[in-house]
């Protein structure tokens, strides 16, 4: 046994717990946050949820709605990074090819992607009857994670009305944690879900907002603000059901500065650095996907060397958003009595053990 290493780790865990007890927070951003530390700090971007929480059904839909009444006719620039491709998305191939976002982005469980696609196509055709008759078809973007531990995924419970309801209730202020698409998600063996963060880049006069659907990671690797807490949590909570680094994570980024699709793809890729800081290595069975879009359709291009701050902020805000998802999530029991405990409860329980 490496006693010095164990002592160092224990000191880090105790320091993190002291911050939790005193501040009820555990993450300290490396860069300035936006006004509400939320994706919606990027003007015009709104978020809505539709949540299904009844017995074995623990799932839902989350909608990210960019600004603009006609994304079909006037799409926004976007870029995509597939960190690990164990996933069943819709719309990414065309988004990567053309660098354009034509619809709101919908998130849900793996078996709901077809339903969400139909919902967006139907609504889009109602709004723009020329779609496919004779104009080009539309490219809905649907992203998913597997919530089968807490949700009876075979029940196919999500409906088109659920998808449309999430869009219709979207607003600047939105819930996080065990809501919408995040209802049945797990993260590092604990409760996952929806989290958000934002960063203000003074040099570019730009805001970068991030939303995550967190459903990945294994508890032994969990690292919070640089402190590897997973082994300590596992010792005091040995009954927790294990989770491998699988299940997926979706990261959505928005920026209010004009960036082209190539630059947005570069920024989205830095989400991987944020995930790694948390202890993820993008496991075999995890679909880890980041999509970044600009709310500006045109403008003066930023030189690549000026992106440095946004690249660093993308990593920082991704890490922060996952922590936000875990701290915001309530404990949930669902399919076959399976249970995931919230990080807040774990931190409080561990502190009591040490008191």
Residue 302 has pLDDT above 60, yes or no: yes
Tell me the pLDDT tens digit for each residue of 191-233. Answer: 999 999 999 999 999 999 999 999 999 999 999 999 999 999 9
Number of domains in the chain: 1
DSSP state letters, 17-81: HHHHHHHS-----SS---TTSSGGGSTT-EEEEEEEEETTEEEEEEEEE-S-S-TTTSPEEEEEE
CA angle 80, 86, 89 (to 5 degrees): 50
Q: Count of CB atoms within 10 A of residue 88's CB?
A: 15
Burial class (CB in 10 A: 0-12, 13-18, 19+), 217: buried
Residue 301 parent element (H or E) = none
- Domain, as residue range, for 305: 29-354
Contact 290, 177 (CB under 8 A): no
Distance from C-alpha of 242 to C-alpha of 317, rounded to nearest angstrom: 27
Specify the pLDDT at position 240. Answer: 82
User: What is the tens place of the pLDDT at every residue in 326-350?
Assistant: 999 999 999 999 999 999 999 998 8
Q: Residue 8: inside a domain, yes or no? A: no
Q: Count each helix (H run) and each strand (E run) in the chain, helices first.
A: 9, 16
Q: In this structure, is residue 1 part of a structural domain?
A: no
pLDDT for residue 1 is more than 60: no
* pTM score above 0.85: yes
- Taking each helix axis from N to C end, the angle separating 261-269 and 308-328, rounded to the nearest 10 degrees, works out to 50
Q: Is there a domain that residue 150 lies in?
A: yes
13 found inside a domain: no
The answer to whether residue 272 scores a pLDDT higher than 50 is yes
Q: Using 50, 70 and 90 to split pLDDT, how confident is the model at 8?
A: low
Can you tell me the distance from the alpha carbon of 146 to that of 318, in angstroms, rounded to the nearest whole number?
20
> Maximum CA pair distance of the chain?
72
Residue 69's domain is classified under what CATH number?
Answer: 3.60.70.12
Angle at 180 between CA 174 and CA 183, to 5 degrees: 120
Q: State whether residue 74 is helix, strand or coil.
A: coil
- 68-117 confidence digits (pLDDT tens): 999 999 999 999 999 999 999 999 999 999 999 999 999 999 999 999 99
pLDDT of residue 355: 72
> Could you tell me if residue 22 is inside a domain?
no
Question: Is residue 59 assigned to a domain?
Answer: yes
3-state secondary structure at position 151: coil
Query: What's residue 313's pLDDT?
Result: 98
Place of tokens 């604990």: 190
- Which of the four pLDDT bands, split at 50, 70 and 90, describes residue 138? very high
pLDDT at 9: 74
Is there a domain that residue 6 lies in?
A: no
Rounded distance between C-alpha atoms, residue 25 and residue 225, angstroms = 11
In a domain, 5, yes or no: no
Q: Which two tokens stand for residue 16?
A: 């993190």
């Amino acid at each position: 046994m490496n006693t010095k290493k164990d002592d160092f780790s224990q000191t880090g865990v105790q320091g993190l717990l002291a911050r939790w007890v005193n501040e009820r927070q555990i993450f300290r951003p490396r860069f300035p946050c936006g006004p509400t530390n939320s994706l919606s700090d990027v003007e015009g971007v709104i978020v809505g949820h539709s949540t299904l929480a009844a017995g074995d059904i623990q799932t839902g839909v989350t909608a990210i709605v960019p600004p603009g009444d006609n994304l079909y006719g006037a799409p926004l620039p976007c870029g995509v990074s597939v960190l690990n491709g164990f996933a069943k998305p819709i719309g990414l191939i065309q988004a990567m090819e053309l660098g354009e976002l034509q619809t709101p982005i919908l998130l849900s469980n793996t078996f709901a992607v077809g339903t969400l696609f139909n919902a967006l196509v139907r609504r889009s055709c109602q709004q723009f009857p020329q779609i496919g008759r004779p104009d080009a078809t539309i490219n809905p973007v649907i992203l998913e994670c597997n919530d089968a531990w807490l949700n009876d995924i075979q029940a196919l419970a999500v409906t088109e009305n659920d998808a449309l309801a999430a869009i219709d209730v979207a607003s600047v202020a939105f819930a996080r944690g065990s809501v919408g698409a995040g209802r049945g998600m797990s993260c590092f063996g604990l409760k996952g879900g929806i989290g958000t963060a934002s960063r203000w880049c003074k040099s570019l006069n730009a805001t970068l907002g991030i939303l995550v659907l967190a459903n990945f990671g294994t508890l032994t690797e969990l690292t919070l603000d640089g402190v590897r807490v997973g082994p300590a949590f596992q010792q005091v909570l040995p009954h927790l059901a294990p989770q491998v680094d699988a299940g997926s994570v979706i990261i959505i980024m928005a920026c209010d500065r004009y960036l082209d699709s190539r630059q947005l793809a570069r920024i989205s890729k830095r989400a991987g650095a944020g995930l790694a800081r948390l202890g993820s290595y993008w496991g075999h069975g995890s679909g880890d996907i980041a999509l970044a879009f600009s709310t500006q359709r045109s403008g003066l291009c930023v030189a690549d060397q000026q992106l440095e701050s946004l690249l660093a902020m993308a990593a920082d805000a991704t890490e922060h958003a996952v922590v936000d998802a875990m701290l915001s999530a309530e404990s949930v029991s669902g399919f076959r009595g399976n249970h995931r405990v919230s990080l807040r409860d774990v931190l409080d329980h561990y502190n009591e053990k040490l008191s």
